[in-house]
Structure 1
Amino acid sequence: MNHKLFWKLCISLGMGCMALVYLIAELSLHVERKMSLIAPEYKAEIRAYQQQAKAYLNDEEALFNWLTNLQTEEQTFATVISIQHSSIGGRIDNNEIAIQAGRNLDYAIHLYHDNPTIHLPLDSNGTVFLFRLPDRMMPGELWPAVHLGMHLALPMIIMMIFSVLLYRHVMAPIRQLEHATQRFSAGDYATRLTPEMRGRDDELGRLATTFDQMASRVGELIQSQRHLIHDLSHELRTPLQRLELCLPTLPAQHESRVRHEVELMRKLTEDTLTLAWMQNETRSSLGDHLDLCTLIEVIADDCCFEFPNHELSLQLPRALCLQHTSERALSQAIENILRNALRYTPVGKRVSVTLHHHLAHCELMIADQGPGVPDDLLGQIFAPFFRVDKARGRSAGGFGLGLALAKRHIESVGGTITAYNAASGGLTVGIELPISNTSCKTCKSTAPNQ
């Protein structure tokens, strides 16, 4: 397989490291040379000493006193000597050779050795002024810090810049993939990466091609499923309507039975199509503002009329406003859960509905006194067409779609739903919904429950 991106990174890192080592070495050598030169102001001072020594050449006592004072003042060594040029085996040409007892003033100073002695000629007869460079005139005072910075801080900064450039080169197509995935998950099934990453013939380019192939295939499947749902919606409703039209022609003893079966088939068809639609569509616009307490009370009144032999207990605050939600989704979800609780609660038993208001969310608890659900099946009760044997069978009037639809509705408004068996018996379904802290004109806000 072609690993272009791998080799590109390897070559970039290798060449970058080589260039960095060469750059640091050359820069360090250049800076060290610059910092090894005696400062111009100190050179001027030393040359002034040279001129003073010349002035005292003909007065030995004055020269001795001046040298003594200079050594005391600078805390260094200073003297004037005469170098005699005498040849043992050859002729000396004073224009071609110079015998020095110290370093030239303009030479670079070795920063790691002791203070050097500066050689300054006083005349053409070999008389020289020797002056050991005092500590205050030594160059390279900042060299240790500069050396440390060039070998630690500077490489780190350069590598950070190089890493940022490399990161951007690698992450740019990954961000494009992330954004394309987000658009695709939001319902834009025409999203493709190839136009944005045209020209990349490496691993990331092949990833973009694979994503486009996957997006094309998944988009076709989703569109096909949408068309299937639409066709089923039409094809299933039409024969049911015909059956309903034919019901009056049936004998009286069969009409009620057939009507009941037709109603069950219609409900099953509507619930199945609704569930399939919600699983394939993105969240609809959430523009409703409502009082959740009022909504629960309306649903509870309808349920009490349908289940007159059951006790329904409501524990609600005075008002609880929800903003940017869907009244239809919440109404269907709460109604499905509440009817399910009443349906499987024995006659004379109680179903409790409790609503708690917290800072950023509210919690709705619907607890029945029915047989509950086996613990190993609790994670499956929100799956489509799931029914617990006998306790959740069709004989009670359900197809196992009520809780599945409720879960989809709650998730469509940004909420969560859970279920657990209460210690005292029965099933408790908990719904958590987000709330806004801004004031709502639809209802009066209440303080959170303590």
Structure 2
Amino acid sequence: MGRLFWKLFIAFLAALTVSGLLVAFVLSLLYPRDRAPFAGSQPPQMFMVDTLVSVMQSSGVAAVRPVLEAWRMKRAPAPLVVGPDGQELLGRAVLPVQLEGARVVLIDGADWRVIEPERGALRPPPPAGSRGAGMRLPPPPLLEVVTALLGALAFSAVLAWYLSRPVRHLHRAFEALAQGNLDARVGPLIGTRRDEIADLGCGFDRMAARIQRLLDAQRRLLHDVSHELRSPLARMSAAIGLARQDPTRGDAMFDRVELEAARLDVMVSELLDLSRLEHDAGHAPAQMLALDALLRDIVDDARFEAAARGVQVDLAAEPLSLAVHPVLLRRALDNVLRNAVKYSPDGSRVQVGMHSDGACVRMVIRDRGCGVADDELGRIFEPFFRGARSGGDAGHGTGLGLSIARRAIEVHGGDIRASTPPEGGLQIDIRLPRS
């Protein structure tokens, strides 16, 4: 058992023990077990007098003596019964003043007087060592104390175990995660529990899952980067080797080296952009921007590049404004549109549209190129992924453009998706929230 268990256990045990002892003490004072029947609650005085009078009238004076003896043995203040000769029936002393107001009962022509206890009760002396009749202290509540202690012990142990158990699971999961076990989860161990500790466990599972996804993504990115860098470096090395073998081909080989170096520069630049988006994006304050004007500038740049191949870029945009990060959004839209122009056949058309769609702004970019297979639509936004229909030709780009676009859109709280229209090609849908 951990320290939290013992802290909870001792705290609950102390609280329950104190409360149990107080309850037991109060109950023992209110309901003592061995107290004399009349020690704290004597019969009413008039009831005792009426009882004696009724017994005398029905059974005679002789029947009164046992009743008085019983009351005296129980140390109850019994009434005085005085005969015609002035003697009390049990031999108790009677003062003349006590005879005033006594009940008179005529028995066989003689007057018998019954005096109330408060007028003439002479209580027997209390036993040695006692505190007086009716005032004995109650016996120690041993049974109550033992029962309270056992109940408090069991309840505190169960409750402390119940509260500390998920914390122990969390501790083990944190230790496993710290040692590199990214599959550590506490949700299955907590079960159907629904409280703040269970919420903490669910938060740990979400954190562990996100860390696992990030590390997996970093491993894949590192693998892809090493693979992508190896290809141009290998071509550069081959070109240098050929130039040494055949100096007459030196100019052509140096051109090839220069081309591969330029591709490496572009790739490194885009990797840096992707890294900045992963770590630093979203810190700059957003600015209110006319999206239709931004989209028009991007389309004009794309038209200049597409004109050489006869590709036409059409734009239909509603006048809309939104608080965005201008540099990031421009980079995202430019990457998507350049990708559409790049894979469009000569003389084809690229359509760009923007309109308000409820609580968001929707942008659609559609081309008439070779498209993407349905099972690859979700992967085209991964770094360095190239669809099978593109031929996997590295000369078409670095494979980072759509990854940068997706991250930039996510920074704005939006999403980007790809689909294949019935008429062919590829359609990219971008949605940005308006608030």
So what's the TM-score if we normalise by structure 2?
0.50
Alignment of 1:10-409 (within 5 A): 10-12=5-7, 14-15=9-10, 18-19=13-14, 22-23=17-18, 25-33=20-28, 36=31, 49-50=44-45, 52=46, 82-84=64-66, 98-100=72-74, 121-123=78-80, 261=260, 263-275=262-274, 277-278=275-276, 281-289=279-287, 290-308=289-307, 309-323=310-324, 326-358=325-357, 360-389=359-388, 391=390, 393-394=392-393, 397-409=396-408
- The alignment's C-alpha RMSD in Å is 5.6
User: Matched residues in 2 for 1:258 and 1:311: separation?
Assistant: 34
User: Matched residues in 2 for 1:426 and 1:262: separation?
Assistant: 32
How many angstroms does 1:271 deviate by? 1.9
User: Matched residues in 1 for 2:264 and 2:16: separation?
Assistant: 79
Give yes or no for contact 1:417–1:430 (8 Å, CA) kept in 2. yes
Give yes or no for contact 1:420–1:428 (8 Å, CA) kept in 2. yes
For 1:426, the aligned partner's letter is G
**Larger CA deviation: 377-386 vs 279-288:** 279-288
CA 1:129/1:345 → structure 2, altered by over 3 Å: closer, same or farther? farther
User: Matched residues in 2 for 1:426 and 1:35: separation?
Assistant: 92
Give yes or no for contact 2:406–2:416 (8 Å, CA) kept in 1. yes
Q: Which secondary structure state, in structure 2, belongs to the residue aligned with residue 380 of structure 1?
A: coil
Identity of matched residues, %: 27
Unaligned runs of 5+ in 2: 33-37, 58-62, 81-87, 91-113, 118-147, 179-210, 223-228, 234-248
Give yes or no for contact 2:340–2:350 (8 Å, CA) kept in 1. yes
- The residue aligned with 2:96 is none
User: Matched residues in 2 for 1:392 and 1:432: separation?
Assistant: 29
For 1:268, the aligned partner's letter is M
User: Matched residues in 2 for 1:258 and 1:85: separation?
Assistant: 130
**Larger CA deviation: 385-394 vs 14-23:** 14-23
The CA deviation string for residues 106-160 of structure 1, in whole angstroms up to 9 with x for no partner, is: xxxxxxxxxxxxx763238578999xxxxxxxxxxxxxxxxxxxx9xxx9xx97x
Give yes or no for contact 1:419–1:430 (8 Å, CA) kept in 2. yes
Give yes or no for contact 1:415–1:431 (8 Å, CA) kept in 2. yes
CA 1:417/1:82 → structure 2, altered by over 3 Å: closer, same or farther? farther
User: Matched residues in 1 for 2:267 and 2:19: separation?
Assistant: 77
How many angstroms does 1:333 deviate by? 0.9
The CA deviation string for residues 275-314 of structure 1, in whole angstroms up to 9 with x for no partner, is: 3x32663335232311222211110111112113223333
Asked which structure has the greater CA Rg, the reply is 2
For 1:376, the aligned partner's letter is D
- The residue aligned with 2:429 is 430
For 1:427, the aligned partner's letter is L
For 1:84, the aligned partner's letter is P
How many angstroms does 1:336 deviate by? 0.4
Q: Which secondary structure state, in structure 1, belongs to the residue aligned with residue 364 of structure 2?
A: strand
CA 1:33/1:353 → structure 2, altered by over 3 Å: closer, same or farther? farther
- The residue aligned with 1:410 is 409
Give yes or no for contact 2:350–2:366 (8 Å, CA) kept in 1. yes
For 1:399, the aligned partner's letter is T
CA 1:33/1:358 → structure 2, altered by over 3 Å: closer, same or farther? farther
Give yes or no for contact 1:292–1:322 (8 Å, CA) kept in 2. no
CA 1:84/1:301 → structure 2, altered by over 3 Å: closer, same or farther? same
Unaligned runs of 5+ in 1: 38-42, 65-80, 87-93, 105-118, 131-150, 182-213, 226-231, 237-249, 437-450
The CA deviation string for residues 323-358 of structure 1, in whole angstroms up to 9 with x for no partner, is: 5xx211111111001110121122343323333435
CA 1:361/1:48 → structure 2, altered by over 3 Å: closer, same or farther? same
CA 1:261/1:15 → structure 2, altered by over 3 Å: closer, same or farther? closer
CA 1:263/1:22 → structure 2, altered by over 3 Å: closer, same or farther? closer
User: Matched residues in 1 for 2:257 and 2:9: separation?
Assistant: 81
Q: Which secondary structure state, in structure 2, belongs to the residue aligned with residue 307 of structure 1?
A: helix
For 2:73, the aligned partner's letter is I
User: Matched residues in 1 for 2:269 and 2:356: separation?
Assistant: 34
The CA deviation string for residues 170-226 of structure 1, in whole angstroms up to 9 with x for no partner, is: 69x98xx9xxx9xxxxxxxxxxxxxxxxxxxxxxxxxxxxxxxx9xxx9xx9xxx9x
For 2:319, the aligned partner's letter is R
